[in-house]
């Protein structure tokens, strides 16, 4: 398979930490990783495995070099809906917890080579409100770059760390209910485990996260432990 013809590539739809997303037409988008050595084929393997097992995620149409072509899902992110007051906190965190559970039901497939983190279930390791689109048919989980074989507790802990860093970085000084998202998530999610490992995993990704969030990693675990009782 080859990358899309440059003449097909349309408007820039979004820019993330590692890739830019372009419209392609005919219900498709191109996710082009900025690092030409990025293994888009590995991302495709994880996404296809998840979709085939019933996890709501876009259909992968092509993976070639740093390019990943997937079906287009029209809709805002969960984070946008939360910020706009169009989605309740409890509803959103229940969706996150359900996406974790559906992902973790996927058991190791011998033919699917993914990073190893100690376990035999599919884990996403970047499941948070900005990686969930609210499409016409419901929530859709995107961005499988960090997918690995592992244990559910680690995946849940990584999400908790992301939510904790977000609360500490942006909400703590000006929002009386800064920890509501994290508190609601911990209430409905599977039990988290390996919290210190989750913090270190996020620390290994600081090049791909806002500096304000990275600066809160040392405080995140303490906040999570406090809220977990």
Q: Which of 71, 104, 125 is the last residue of a domain?
A: 71
Number of domains observed in the structure of the chain: 2
Shared domain for 26 and 119, answered yes or no, is: no
Q: Give pLDDT, residue 36.
A: 87
pLDDT digits (tens, 9 = 90+) for 12-22: 998 888 899 99
Range of the domain at 51: 6-71
pTM score of the predicted model: 0.93
Shared domain for 37 and 111, answered yes or no, is: no
Shared domain for 222 and 131, answered yes or no, is: yes
Q: Which residue has the higher pLDDT, 218 or 173?
A: 218
What is the maximum span of the chain, computed from C-alpha positions, in angstroms? 56
Burial pattern 130-157, b for ≥16 Cβ within 10 A else e, equals bbbbbeeeebbbbbbbbbbbbbbbbbbb
Strands 60-64 and 19-25: unpaired
């Amino acid at each position: 398979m080859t990358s899309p013809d440059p003449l097909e590539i349309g408007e820039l739809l979004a820019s993330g930490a590692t890739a830019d997303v372009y419209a392609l037409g005919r219900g498709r988008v191109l996710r082009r990783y900025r690092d030409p050595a990025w293994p888009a084929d590995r991302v495709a393997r994880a996404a296809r495995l998840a979709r085939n097992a019933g996890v709501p995620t876009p259909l992968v149409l092509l993976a070639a070099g740093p390019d990943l072509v997937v079906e287009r899902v029209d809709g805002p992110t969960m984070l946008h809906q939360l910020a706009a007051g169009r989605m309740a906190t409890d509803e959103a965190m229940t969706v996150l917890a359900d996406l974790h559970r559906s992902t973790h039901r996927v058991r190791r497939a011998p033919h699917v080579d993914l990073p190893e983190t100690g376990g035999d279930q599919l884990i996403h390791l970047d499941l948070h409100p900005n990686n969930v689109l609210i499409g016409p048919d419901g929530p859709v989980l995107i961005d499988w770059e960090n997918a690995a074989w592992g244990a559910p507790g680690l995946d849940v802990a990584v999400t908790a760390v992301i939510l904790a860093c977000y609360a500490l970085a942006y909400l703590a000084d000006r929002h009386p209910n800064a920890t509501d998202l994290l508190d609601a998530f911990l209430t409905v999610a599977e039990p988290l485990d390996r919290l210190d490992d989750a913090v270190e995993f996020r620390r290994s990704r600081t090049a791909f996260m806002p500096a304000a969030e990275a600066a809160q990693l040392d405080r995140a675990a303490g906040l999570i432990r406090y809220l977990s009782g």
